[in-house]
Chain A
């Protein structure tokens, strides 16, 4: 019993010390140190003055023929794309794009999925 009490007391006092250290560091970190994951990637990208759309979500259509399809990158085996078929079009044509063969939109444009490792 005594040993258990001693252990609990020791343990909690040690925890307090750790806690105190954290509390002493009560100042803001550099915003870059605080952020993580996708948010950090975005921040670093912005800082480097790179493309404001680091994920390349808006893709310009090239010739779009069967031989020269517009390349769409993805980290996955398939993704959804939206084609604004012509300038007057008032809606977006959504479709699935799978790895392997190219896909043709109703309007005649061809798209092909290319692998791009996650940023």
Chain B
């Protein structure tokens, strides 16, 4: 019935995912608190599995509606674009709050910190070592994803695949280096407000890199199964926007926390 109408809007079908996803989020939250208090991870794991299964199947449905049912007309796509723009805007403000905390603490360090930044006793990372390499990696990944985008726009399947693949590899490389840096770190999240602001800001950024890489891997798999064409690749564009956002957040993190803050 959905295809037999005289308008351009997508009348969505009933879906279990909003409700199941909401329950998953609630179980994850409750389970995490349970883990904090009782060192018991079962409930949290159940919540996480529910969330992951929900996201996989929800986006699978959207892919089917868009690619196999042709329900994503230009008007619907416009709505999806606005949704992504507003989502990324909210993410920007999420990170603004962590930068606010960082500058609040670092611009006029309290007596307890030794009236200096980095605080007394904190041994910080050398910004010219792994952090600089990470900056180069993310900037290069911005180039490779633009390469993939232009290839898709010009109907060049192979170069689109190569560009996307290189972007995913660079994303994984970044995550591996951050994990290594975290293991080597001479301070912890419990070491003064420096450790707190550092690990909350870079940790949430790292989480976003992992989410962005997952998004790009999804696009890679959809590209392999020929889901995209020069005028049908909204999912890829959303992934590219998200990846650029993650890239820009890292530049701010590098400049303010790693470089100026050291």
Contacts and interface: CB of A to CB of B under 8 A. Distances in A.
Interface in A38-74: 38-40, 42-43, 54-57, 73-74
A31 B230 contact: yes
B117 to A, nearest CB: 53
B244 interface: no
A34 B72 CA distance: 13
7 contacts: A28-B226, A31-B232, A37-B71, A55-B6, A75-B6, A118-B6, A119-B6
Nearest to B160: A28
Interface of B is mostly: loop
A36 to B, nearest CB: 4
Contact size range, B: 20 to 34
Contacts of A39: 70-73, 232
A26 B74 CA distance: 27
Interface of A is mostly: loop
Interface in A1-54: 25-31, 34-40, 42-43, 54
Contact size range, A: 20 to 34
A28 B73 contact: no
A34 B231 CA distance: 10
A73 to B, nearest CB: 6
Contacts of A36: 68-70
A30 B232 CA distance: 11
A28 B230 contact: yes
Interface string B144-180: 0000000000011110010000000000000000000
